[in-house]
Amino acid sequence: MVDETKQIQVLLGPYRDHRLTVSAADAQTAINDHWAIDPFAAPDDHPHPPLSEEERTHALEAATAWAQLQWDTAQQVPPPEPPPPEGGVTRRRAMTPDDTSGRYPTRNIPDAAKQPEDEQDKPKRRT
């Protein structure tokens, strides 16, 4: 399946004043975060109001984070580990066995609990 691509005109960040071809999802995110526009969109009759300082800061941070992700991907840097769950539990279950002798305590009868051979229920041998 081929990903759909779109062109965006970047307004903020490291790629400012460049027209980039990106995936449709990245293009929509960039437009929603106000750091890019669709260069082929019809001009609006109602211009967008100026961004507040908080919105502008968020847009610049989003553009910079996206550019850094592109750079890291090109340099084959692995993505950062996701944050721990909200519960704060970061400990993982140990996958090493408790008993490395190869015996499973739930399946083996300890030697002290074994009955002598003559008391076990065995069929008697004919002589």
* pLDDT per position as a tens digit, 63-99: 999 999 999 999 998 877 887 777 666 667 777 766 6
Task: Tell me which of 100 and 11 has the higher pLDDT.
Answer: 11
pLDDT at 1: 47
Parallel, antiparallel, or unpaired: how do β-strands 5-10 and 19-23 relate? antiparallel
Task: Tell me which of 99 and 37 has the higher pLDDT.
Answer: 37
Determine the average pLDDT of the residues in 14-37: 93
Q: What is the dihedral of CA 35, 41, 3, 83, to 10 degrees?
A: 20
Q: By CB neighbour count within 10 A (0-12 exposed, 13-18 middle, 19+ buried), where does 47 fall?
A: exposed
| Euclidean distance between CA atoms 83 and 67, whole angstroms | 21
Tokens of 56: 């502008």
Give the predicted TM-score (pTM) of the model.
0.59
